[in-house]
Amino acid sequence: MTKAKILRLLIISGITVILDQLTKILVVASLEFGRDIPVIPGFFNLTHVLNPGGAFGLFAQHSGFVRVLFFLVFSLVAVGFILYIYAGIPETHKVLGGGLCLIFGGAVGNLIDRVRMGKVVDFLDVYVGNWHWPAFNVADSAICIGVGVFVYHILFNKMPEQGKIF
């Protein structure tokens, strides 16, 4: 991996982790657990919830040990896989590389919470009427944007022959 790619990874994923952790610190310090603050009434609240499971509450009902073990192992494997893919992307694919950096930073941000608390702080609540999207955070947003970039690239761009991802 070139120095430029390593620097790009450190900057994009580092900013992602810092923003994720700072916003979570602000939420924990200034918003009572379980409380909602309407930002756009009928559509968007700031809230303070802890997610013991994965995306959309996956594994939330399992024991703490099972959750922590599963998500730590899964996160470490995912981080390693993202680094492996990122290393194989040519310099010409900066947007794809940036998307992978967002996924990496988001995974690290949520991994920090899991190691510290065994749960992830979520605080963004999007809803319409009584239908609520599961609460999420900056790390989740970065992961979704990064996955979107990755999927777009796979569907609409030709994968490079040299440095193939798969």
Instruction: Catalogue the active-site residues.
Output: 122, 140
DSSP string for residues in 42-111: TTEEEEEEEE-SSGGGTTTTS-HHHHHHHHHHHHHHHHHHHHHHHHHS-TT-HHHHHHHHHHHHHHHHHH
State both tokens at 44: 């968007």
DSSP-derived letter for residue 135 is: P
C-alpha dihedral over 138, 143, 33, 70, to 10 degrees? Answer: -150
The rounded distance, in Å, linking the Cα atoms of 110 and 132 is 21
